[in-house]
Protein backbone atom coordinates (compact mmCIF):
# COMPACT_ATOMS: atom_id res chain seq x y z
CA UNK A 1 0.00 0.00 0.00
CA UNK A 2 1.54 3.34 -1.03
CA UNK A 3 1.75 6.34 1.24
CA UNK A 4 0.68 9.61 -0.41
CA UNK A 5 2.84 11.57 2.03
CA UNK A 6 5.98 9.63 1.08
CA UNK A 7 8.32 11.98 -0.86
CA UNK A 8 9.55 9.00 -2.91
CA UNK A 9 6.08 8.29 -4.30
CA UNK A 10 5.40 10.34 -7.46
CA UNK A 11 2.53 12.79 -7.03
CA UNK A 12 -0.09 13.18 -9.75
CA UNK A 13 0.56 16.32 -11.80
CA UNK A 14 -2.12 18.90 -12.30
CA UNK A 15 -5.59 19.66 -11.09
CA UNK A 16 -8.60 18.20 -12.90
CA UNK A 17 -11.23 20.85 -13.65
CA UNK A 18 -14.32 20.75 -15.85
CA UNK A 19 -15.54 23.32 -18.36
CA UNK A 20 -18.95 22.63 -19.89
CA UNK A 21 -18.59 19.01 -18.74
CA UNK A 22 -15.22 18.44 -20.45
CA UNK A 23 -12.28 17.51 -18.21
CA UNK A 24 -9.09 19.58 -18.41
CA UNK A 25 -5.95 19.19 -16.33
CA UNK A 26 -4.11 22.33 -15.30
CA UNK A 27 -0.79 22.33 -13.46
CA UNK A 28 -0.93 25.84 -11.99
CA UNK A 29 -2.45 26.56 -8.59
CA UNK A 30 -3.73 29.90 -9.90
CA UNK A 31 -4.82 31.03 -13.36
CA UNK A 32 -6.22 34.25 -14.74
CA UNK A 33 -9.68 34.28 -16.21
CA UNK A 34 -8.06 34.81 -19.63
CA UNK A 35 -5.98 31.64 -19.17
CA UNK A 36 -9.08 29.67 -18.14
CA UNK A 37 -11.01 30.99 -21.16
CA UNK A 38 -8.14 29.97 -23.45
CA UNK A 39 -8.41 26.31 -22.40
CA UNK A 40 -11.64 25.84 -24.38
CA UNK A 41 -11.41 28.57 -25.99
CA UNK A 42 -14.49 30.52 -24.87
CA UNK A 43 -15.95 32.77 -27.61
CA UNK A 44 -16.16 36.52 -26.89
CA UNK A 45 -19.97 36.41 -26.89
CA UNK A 46 -20.04 33.96 -23.95
CA UNK A 47 -19.18 34.37 -20.26
CA UNK A 48 -17.33 31.82 -18.16
CA UNK A 49 -18.76 31.02 -14.72
CA UNK A 50 -17.52 29.00 -11.74
CA UNK A 51 -20.28 26.85 -10.28
CA UNK A 52 -20.65 27.41 -6.54
CA UNK A 53 -22.46 24.72 -4.57
CA UNK A 54 -25.01 25.81 -2.00
CA UNK A 55 -26.99 29.02 -1.66
CA UNK A 56 -24.27 31.37 -2.94
CA UNK A 57 -24.32 32.78 -6.49
CA UNK A 58 -22.02 31.32 -9.13
CA UNK A 59 -18.91 33.43 -9.83
CA UNK A 60 -18.42 35.27 -13.12
CA UNK A 61 -14.82 34.69 -14.25
CA UNK A 62 -13.22 38.00 -15.23
CA UNK A 63 -10.32 37.78 -17.73
CA UNK A 64 -8.00 40.09 -15.75
CA UNK A 65 -8.50 38.47 -12.32
CA UNK A 66 -6.54 35.51 -10.86
CA UNK A 67 -8.42 32.52 -9.48
CA UNK A 68 -7.31 29.70 -7.20
CA UNK A 69 -7.62 26.37 -9.01
CA UNK A 70 -9.18 23.66 -6.88
CA UNK A 71 -9.31 20.07 -8.13
CA UNK A 72 -12.76 19.21 -9.44
CA UNK A 73 -13.87 22.81 -9.99
CA UNK A 74 -16.82 23.03 -12.38
CA UNK A 75 -16.98 25.90 -14.87
CA UNK A 76 -19.62 26.57 -17.52
CA UNK A 77 -20.20 29.03 -20.33
CA UNK A 78 -23.35 31.04 -20.96
CA UNK A 79 -24.35 33.76 -23.42
CA UNK A 80 -23.04 37.17 -22.36
CA UNK A 81 -26.29 38.83 -23.36
CA UNK A 82 -29.64 37.18 -22.96
CA UNK A 83 -32.47 38.82 -24.89
CA UNK A 84 -35.76 37.11 -23.98
CA UNK A 85 -38.27 37.54 -26.74
CA UNK A 86 -35.62 38.81 -29.14
CA UNK A 87 -35.35 37.58 -32.68
Tell me: the pLDDT tens digits for 11-67?
Answer: 567 899 999 999 999 999 999 999 999 999 999 999 999 999 889 999 999 999 999
Question: How many CA atoms lie within 13 Å of 32's alpha carbon, on the beta-carbon side?
Answer: 6
What is the rounded distance in angstroms from the CA atom of residue 21 to the CA atom of residue 51?
12
**CA 47 – CA 59 distance, rounded (Å):** 10
Confidence at residue 2, expressed as pLDDT on a 0 to 100 scale = 47
* Model pTM score: 0.77
Distance from C-alpha of 16 to C-alpha of 49, rounded to nearest angstrom: 16
Q: CA–CA separation, 30 vs 42, rounded Å?
A: 18
Amino acid sequence: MSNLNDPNVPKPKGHPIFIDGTKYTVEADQLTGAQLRALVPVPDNRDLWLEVHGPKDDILIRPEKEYEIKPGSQFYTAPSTINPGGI
